[in-house]
Structure 1
Amino acid sequence: MQTIIFLGSNKSGSSRDAIRAASEMGYFTVLLTDRRKWMKQREEFPDVHQLVVMNRLSDREEIHVQLSKINNQGKQVKAFVSFIDPYVSLAAEISRELGLQEVSVAALFNMEDKTRFRDVLKNNPVTPHFSVCHLNQDENELFDQHIKKLPVIVKSPVSNGSKDVMRVNSREEFSMAACYFKNQLGPSQLLIEEFVTGPQYLIEVLVHQSKTTIVAIIEQEISSMHRFIITGYHMPAALNEYARGRLTESIEQIMEDIGLTHGTCHLEMRWTEGEWKLIEINPRISGSVINQMILESTGISLVKETLKLYLGEEPDLTPLKNEYVSAEFITVETQGRLVKVTGKNKAKRMDGVKRVYVKPRKGSVLNPPLSMGDRYAYVLASSSDPLEAKEIAKKAAEQIKFYIEPL
């Protein structure tokens, strides 16, 4: 029985889309997870043919114990993959140990830590000014040593989804941020970066045998310039020929410098003063709605083509259509316990709406957005006109209301 094993997954989004894609491709799917409550929700995972609960997904010894059990069941493992942080490079290493398709393990490993990829790309012109400091120093000493110009961005080296990423505008704000990170991270490292202005874009990239393909360029709408919560995505992004050409050059140089010759990644970049600056890079497709968005816009299932790359097959990245697609996310303004959600069906019935997703269940505690995980619903809409796609998504999102009671 030909099998694909997934190391971790979210309940929805691109990582779950990948499991569904594997099942549709005819593979037996095994999910290794540390979320024990999913066993009680087993009926919600029909695409997961075998669900294995582990204590720690990073435990290599436990992984190999489970692999031995799976082999003894007569299953033929064809790929061992992960689509979530921080297990992408670990899954790639296990894949190599199993004699499966090799991907660029070192490049994936460097992308999983922001200080590592900044150091690797420090001489690349896309890299903004940055500094790495240690949180065992006094806040005022850190400020004097590492900050020459405000504002700056401070972040945890292993943050994702805009979690633990802050804009700092003054010495006082830096002191508060440093105290926060000391409490959160302990005596570890902190990354300080130049604040870069300009519109921001998400770029999805697949590299197959050293050939780099930009699969999608998606414009991002950022609702908060302090925590950088992205509440809108629009594809394809409207870029002029010069900016697009410079982007292609920049991406190819980044892939060469970081050593990604076989694998996937997504980047967040800003177009500022006629040049591209790299904000983030991660060794996987972006999560949440992004795979669905690319599918609606181009007909390409990026998670499926990524699986083919990991299976040793040649991905097919030929667009089958060209639709304008927008996604609008919904957050709440106050903390409270969810009583009910209304408007979902009304939003679904609107012309052009492709998908409506509401994440929290009744009784969940909702919070104002401090990270991308605090986005509680989205609407995906498409049209042959870019402005109409945006308008449909925004109007449909306005139909969805969260009723919460204060804690």
Structure 2
Amino acid sequence: MQTIVFIGSNKSGTSRDALNISTTMGYYTVLLTNRSEFIKQEEEFPEVARMLYVENLLDEENILKIIKGLEAENNQICAVISFIDPFVSYAARISAAIGLYPLSTEALAIIEQKSQFRECLKALPVSPKFTLFNRKQSIPQCVEEYQQHLPLILKSSVSNGSKDVLLVKTALEFIEGLDFLSKKFPSIPILIEEYLIGIQYLIEVIVKEGQISLVAIIEQEILSGERFIITGYSLPAIMEEVTMRELQIAVTSIIQALRLVNGTCHLEMRLVDGEWKLIEINPRMSGGAMNRIIQEGTGINLVKETLKLFLGDEPNLAATKRNYVYAKFLTINARGRLMKVIGKNRAAAYEGVKEVFVKPRRGAILTKPYSLGDRYAYVIAIADTPEQAKEIALTASKEIKFYLEPL
């Protein structure tokens, strides 16, 4: 049987989409997971032909042993893939070890480490000013040296999904932020970056044999506050032609500097005083509802085309439709135990609404947003104009209400 092995998955979002699409494409789909609750909920993953619990997914010797066991059962391993951090470059390395389609393993590994990709790209004009707090000096000494540049961004070198990314505006916040991150990540460098003001865009990229394709460019809306929680996505992003060309040049310079020849990534960039600046880059397509957003807007199933890339096939990235899409994500401002959610069906009934998704189950503990994982529902809408799509999504999302038991 032709088989795809997935290392890790979330219950929903892009990584779960990949499991479904793998099976739809006719592959025997194997999921290796370190989440014991998934094993107990195995019946909720009907698209997975085989689910195996692996306590340490980064135990390469054990993963290779499992793969050999699958091969002994007449499974032809066609790809080993991960859509979630921190397993992307790791899966690519395992693929290379067993002779599968060669991905740019070193480039993907650099992208996974924020301090490494910042160092790699520091000579490019897209790079913001940054430094590393590596504990050779004390926190007060570091704050004294850099406080004149406030406000600043602090982040762990291994953060993802907006986790452990802090905006500090005062010397006190600077001290508290460094102290918090240093205690949470005692052996990992802390990045200190300049705070850039401008509209932020997400760019989905596929690279095949050095050919760079910007599949989707999406404007993001960010919840105001110390954390950078994205609550709105608008596809396609509207910008002048010259600005678009400059973005393509900027993205190309980044991909080439990283020597990414075969692989995928998504970038978050801001247009700052007419110049493109790189905020983040991750070695995979964006999570959450991104596949559905892109598919509704362009007709491209980016997860499917990503799987084809990893299988060594040619991705088909030609758009078959052009819709304006807006996705509204919902957060809450309190902490409590979820009692019930109402309004999902009413939201779905609005003309133009394509999907309504509510993530948490009854009894789950919900909090105000600290990362992208703390977004609890979304509404995706399409229309003939970006303004109409946004209005539909926002209006429909107001129907959804969470009832919490305070803790």
Task: Please indicate the TM-score interval, normalised by the length of the shorter structure.
Answer: over 0.9
1:405 corresponding residue in structure 2: 405
Q: How does 1:261-340 map to 2 (within 5 A)?
A: 261-340=261-340
Give the conservation status (yes or no) of the 8 Å contact 1:135–1:188.
Answer: no
Give the conservation status (yes or no) of the 8 Å contact 1:136–1:188.
Answer: no
1:50 corresponding residue in structure 2: 50
Structure 1, gaps ≥5 residues long: none
Give the conservation status (yes or no) of the 8 Å contact 2:57–2:63.
Answer: yes
Q: How does 1:348-363 map to 2 (within 5 A)?
A: 348-363=348-363
For residue 14 of structure 2, what is the amino acid of its counterpart? S
For residue 296 of structure 1, what is the amino acid of its counterpart? E
Q: Distance in 2 between matches of 1:187 and 1:208?
A: 35
Task: Report runs of 4+ in structure 1 exceeding 3 Å deviation.
Answer: 145-148
Give the conservation status (yes or no) of the 8 Å contact 2:329–2:376.
Answer: yes
For residue 318 of structure 1, what is the amino acid of its counterpart? A
Q: Distance in 1 between matches of 2:187 and 2:262?
A: 35
Deviation at 1:144, TM superposition (A): 2.6
2:167 corresponding residue in structure 1: 167
Aligned residues: 407
Q: Distance in 1 between matches of 2:273 and 2:257?
A: 23
1:178 corresponding residue in structure 2: 178
2:201 corresponding residue in structure 1: 201
Deviation at 1:175, TM superposition (A): 0.7
Deviation at 1:213, TM superposition (A): 0.5
For residue 65 of structure 2, what is the amino acid of its counterpart? V
Identity of paired residues, percent?
50
TM-score, normalised via structure 2 length: 0.98
1:370 is paired with a residue whose SS is: coil
Give the conservation status (yes or no) of the 8 Å contact 2:154–2:167.
Answer: yes
Give the conservation status (yes or no) of the 8 Å contact 2:270–2:277.
Answer: yes
1:142 is paired with a residue whose SS is: helix
1:103 corresponding residue in structure 2: 103
Give the conservation status (yes or no) of the 8 Å contact 2:338–2:361.
Answer: yes
2:188 corresponding residue in structure 1: 188
Q: How does 1:43-82 map to 2 (within 5 A)?
A: 43-82=43-82
Q: How does 1:387-406 map to 2 (within 5 A)?
A: 387-406=387-406
Q: Distance in 2 between matches of 1:65 and 1:77?
A: 13
Give the conservation status (yes or no) of the 8 Å contact 1:135–1:186.
Answer: no
For residue 105 of structure 1, what is the amino acid of its counterpart? T
Give the conservation status (yes or no) of the 8 Å contact 2:182–2:190.
Answer: no
For residue 406 of structure 1, what is the amino acid of its counterpart? P
Give the conservation status (yes or no) of the 8 Å contact 2:157–2:188.
Answer: no
1:25 to 1:372, Cα distance in 2 relative to 1, 3 A: same
Per-residue Cα deviation, 1:70-119 (whole angstroms, up to 9, x for no partner): 11111000111111100000000000011000011111000001001000
Per-residue Cα deviation, 1:251-298 (whole angstroms, up to 9, x for no partner): 111111000111100000000111100000000000001111001100
Per-residue Cα deviation, 1:344-399 (whole angstroms, up to 9, x for no partner): 11111111111111111111110001111110111111112111100111111110
Q: Distance in 2 between matches of 1:129 and 1:146?
A: 12
Q: Distance in 2 between matches of 1:221 and 1:121?
A: 26
Deviation at 1:231, TM superposition (A): 0.5
2:149 is paired with a residue whose SS is: coil
1:318 is paired with a residue whose SS is: coil
For residue 53 of structure 1, what is the amino acid of its counterpart? Y
Per-residue Cα deviation, 1:120-162 (whole angstroms, up to 9, x for no partner): 0010110000001124642211113345411110000000010
1:248 maps onto 2:248 in alignment: yes
Deviation at 1:40, TM superposition (A): 1.6
Deviation larger for 36-45 or 139-148: 139-148
Per-residue Cα deviation, 1:204-260 (whole angstroms, up to 9, x for no partner): 000111110100000000012410110000100011111101001011111110001
Q: How does 1:359-370 map to 2 (within 5 A)?
A: 359-370=359-370
Q: Distance in 2 between matches of 1:295 and 1:343?
A: 25
Q: Distance in 1 between matches of 2:147 and 2:318?
A: 46
Q: CA RMSD in A?
A: 1.0
Structure 2, gaps ≥5 residues long: none
Q: Distance in 1 between matches of 2:233 and 2:135?
A: 35
1:304 is paired with a residue whose SS is: helix
Deviation at 1:319, TM superposition (A): 0.2
Q: How does 1:153-164 map to 2 (within 5 A)?
A: 153-164=153-164
Q: Distance in 2 between matches of 1:393 and 1:341?
A: 18
Deviation at 1:187, TM superposition (A): 4.4
1:23 is paired with a residue whose SS is: helix
Give the conservation status (yes or no) of the 8 Å contact 2:368–2:374.
Answer: yes
Give the conservation status (yes or no) of the 8 Å contact 1:343–1:401.
Answer: yes
1:114 to 1:404, Cα distance in 2 relative to 1, 3 A: same
Give the conservation status (yes or no) of the 8 Å contact 2:147–2:171.
Answer: no
For residue 289 of structure 1, what is the amino acid of its counterpart? A
Q: Distance in 2 between matches of 1:209 and 1:324?
A: 31
Q: Distance in 2 between matches of 1:167 and 1:398?
A: 29
Per-residue Cα deviation, 1:48-89 (whole angstroms, up to 9, x for no partner): 111011011111021012112211111000111111100000
For residue 114 of structure 2, what is the amino acid of its counterpart? K
2:346 is paired with a residue whose SS is: helix
Deviation at 1:182, TM superposition (A): 2.2
1:139 corresponding residue in structure 2: 139
TM-score, normalised via structure 1 length: 0.98
1:380 corresponding residue in structure 2: 380
